[in-house]
């Protein structure tokens, strides 16, 4: 390993915010060899507690990432070096594909601790957000993977305590995919350097008691130095990541470390929809629930948080499908329109003859005519029978004599119109009843052999006071 400046000439800064990091002197240079097999190629990134280099394992020809703890941290506190080693053990203890894999641990010739990790090809979420805010639809798949990794860490008794976009890595996963589609991005959680976890069997150390982390993403209980921190602190940081990704800014801004912490503890951030009016109200509710000041009001587990995001995503997909779904088309075919075909043609010896179908027979017309004829016959018969019965009926006897006084009053008025009563002649014994009722008609002349016409009766003499004199017999 090449020589360099001594430990006394190196500088270290406290992590005050994600973007407020003082420059540090690099301890490794290109070409340095660690543990006789790891070759340093170039610097990838650096932070307040460690730096990350691109390296290679010359024995197996594999690219690796080498994370080196700053020498001042190891010299000032033995706990810092122990936590650095515990990060490697914690990664193996969690056993999740969303936690960066630690391959080896060691010490540099200067006494600095280092970790050898899998090399990740991609970018951090911080790099992605620097290009501009993302939509909730783009963000949900990333955060769901992040919560899956956090759930595995919390189940292993480990709290990250330093979640931020810079510690969320989007690894390009090259798989067989359809042409024209982007590579799948696998989320990896980085930097468990200040993680709080239950003491491992090989390390019965003490828990961290100082306030460490990135101020913009700290929960209120972490900002006041609460000793009992659990997974809900990490879930608060995930809510701040959502806030930053959607609105393009962190909830609380400021430069001094203490001022940011005071605002985190005592102030309420602006609602996300005030900064992003187009944001869905239900997604805003998810962010505000994750960032609740009281831990009991937040999501209690990473799984519950992920279920809330999944439910929101399904609701959005259902609403989009309902909006874009075409109206159902009936499968029933409409009845075909009647087509009047021409009459078929028949070939004959003298040409083509068109055979026409016989005319349709109207069966209702004759039926109605028959009914009308029968009704007419019945009506005619009924009328003839009525006339026959009326002619054969005997003449009723004269009514009783009216009251003489009444006739005396009306006689002067009707006297000129009254005619004498004529008694009809008695019919011969052999005459039929019909003949009795028939009045003989006068003939124009008498023929030989005809019976002599009856001589009309002479009118009776009218007597004063005779009631029958006021009745006129019209007869037949």
Q: Which residues contact 154 (CB under 8 A, 6 or more apart)?
A: 230, 231, 234, 301, 302
pTM equals 0.60
The larger pLDDT score, comparing residue 160 to residue 342, is at: 160
**Using one digit for the tens of pLDDT, what is the confidence trace for 26-53?**
568 888 999 888 999 999 887 767 788 9
- What distance in Å separates the CA atoms of residue 356 and residue 340, rounded to the nearest whole number? 13
Q: How confident is the model at residue 456 (pLDDT cuts 50, 70, 90)?
A: low
For the chain, how are helix, strand and coil distributed in percent, rounded to 5?
Answer: 40, 15, 50
C-alpha span between 385 and 90 (Å, rounded): 125
Q: 130-134, 183-187, 360-364, 442-446: which has the highest mean pLDDT?
A: 130-134
Which of 23-37, 147-161, 178-192, 441-455 has the least mean pLDDT? 441-455
d(CA 301, CA 152): 11
Q: 97: which 2 tokens? A: 């594909």
Give per-residue burial for 158-177: e unless 16+ CB within 10 Å, then b.
bbbbbbbbbbbbbbeeeeee
Query: CATH classification of 14-318, choosing from 2.60.40.60, 1.10.510.10, 1.10.287.980, 3.40.50.300?
Result: 1.10.510.10
CA distance 163 to 192: 9
Active site residues: 162
201-226 pLDDT, tens per residue? 444 444 445 677 889 999 999 999 88
Ranked by mean pLDDT, the top range of 366-370, 429-433, 457-461 is 366-370
Say which range, 97-111, 182-196, 361-375, 438-452, has the weakest mean pLDDT.
438-452
Round to whole Å and give the CA distance between 289 and 311: 15
């Amino acid at each position: 390993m090449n020589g360099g400046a001594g430990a006394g000439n190196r500088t270290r800064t406290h992590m005050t915010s994600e973007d407020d990091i003082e420059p540090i002197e690099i301890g490794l240079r290109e070409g340095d060899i660690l543990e006789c097999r790891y070759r340093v190629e170039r610097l990838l990134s650096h932070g307040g507690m460690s730096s990350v280099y691109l390296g290679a394992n010359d024995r197996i020809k594999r690219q690796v990432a080498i994370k080196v703890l700053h020498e001042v941290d190891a010299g000032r506190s033995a706990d810092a070096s122990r936590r650095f080693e515990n990060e490697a053990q914690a990664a193996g203890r969690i056993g999740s594909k969303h936690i960066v894999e630690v391959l080896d641990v060691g010490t540099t010739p200067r006494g600095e601790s280092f970790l050898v990790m899998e090399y990740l090809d991609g970018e951090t979420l911080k790099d992605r957000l620097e290009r501009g805010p993302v939509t909730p639809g783009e963000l949900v798949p990333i955060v769901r993977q992040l919560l899956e990794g956090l759930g595995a860490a919390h189940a292993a008794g480990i709290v990250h305590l330093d979640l931020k976009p810079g510690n969320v890595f989007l690894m390009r996963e090259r798989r067989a995919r359809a042409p024209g589609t982007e590579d799948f991005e696998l989320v990896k959680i980085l930097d468990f350097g200040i993680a709080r976890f239950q003491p491992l069997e090989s390390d019965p150390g003490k828990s961290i008691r100082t306030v460490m982390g990135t101020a913009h993403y700290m929960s209120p209980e972490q900002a006041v130095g609460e000793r009992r921190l659990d997974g809900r602190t990490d879930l608060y940081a995930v809510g701040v990541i959502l806030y930053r990704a959607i609105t393009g800014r962190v909830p609380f801004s400021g430069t001094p470390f203490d001022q940011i912490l005071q605002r985190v503890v005592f102030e309420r951030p602006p609602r996300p929809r005030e900064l992003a009016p187009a944001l869905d109200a239900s997604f805003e509710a998810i962010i505000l629930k994750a960032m609740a000041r009281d831990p009991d009001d937040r999501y209690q587990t990473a799984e519950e948080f992920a279920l809330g995001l999944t439910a929101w995503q399904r609701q959005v997909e259902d609403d989009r499908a309902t909006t874009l779904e075409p109206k159902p088309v009936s499968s029933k075919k409409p009845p075909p329109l009647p087509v009047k075909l021409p009459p078929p043609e028949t070939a004959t010896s003298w040409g083509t003859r068109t055979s026409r179908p016989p005319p349709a027979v109207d069966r209702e017309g004759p039926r109605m005519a028959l009914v009308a004829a029968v009704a007419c016959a019945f009506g005619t018969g009924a009328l003839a029978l009525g006339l026959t019965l009326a002619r054969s009926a005997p003449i009723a006897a004269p009514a009783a004599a009216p009251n003489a006084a009444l006739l005396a009053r009306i006689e002067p008025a009707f006297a000129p119109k009254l005619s004498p009563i004529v008694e009809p002649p008695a019919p011969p014994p052999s005459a039929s009843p019909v003949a009795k009722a028939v009045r003989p008609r006068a003939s124009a002349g008498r023929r030989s052999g005809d019976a002599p016409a009856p001589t009309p009766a002479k009118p009776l003499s009218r007597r004063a006071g005779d009631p029958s004199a006021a009745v006129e017999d019209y007869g037949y």
